[in-house]
């Protein structure tokens, strides 16, 4: 597992009012991401660690606590779905 998650190449990302619809042509799968998952996917650019992403989510949503567990869980789910490596 990389310390700086990165989106996989070749996925098609389409913004929708609810977040993103992502098509993975390699697996022929469609994924619907809510706003938070869409933001996490955007932050998986190879520059941010999971801790960085948690801090950025905290700032984006003006949270009192750092959402470390939630950020790691979302990254893990994106990785499991083949959208992040």
Parse the chain into domains and list their residue ranges.
12-80
Stated length of the chain: 85
Burial of 68 (0-12, 13-18, 19+ CB in 10 A): middle
pLDDT tier, 1 (very low <50, low <70, confident <90, very high otherwise): very low
- Position 3 scores a pLDDT of 86
The mean per-residue pLDDT over the stretch 12-18 comes to 96
- Position 8 scores a pLDDT of 95
- Position 2 scores a pLDDT of 53
Q: What is the pLDDT of residues 16-73, one digit of tens each?
A: 999 999 999 999 999 999 999 999 999 999 999 999 999 999 999 999 999 999 999 9
């Amino acid at each position: 597992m990389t310390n700086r998650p990165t989106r996989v190449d070749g996925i098609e990302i389409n913004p929708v009012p609810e977040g993103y619809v992502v098509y993975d042509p390699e697996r022929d799968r469609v994924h619907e991401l809510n706003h938070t998952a869409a933001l996490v996917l955007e932050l998986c650019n190879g520059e941010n660690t999971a801790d960085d992403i948690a801090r950025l989510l905290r700032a984006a949503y003006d949270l009192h606590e750092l959402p470390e567990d939630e950020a790691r869980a979302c990254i893990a789910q994106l990785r499991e779905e083949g959208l992040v490596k």
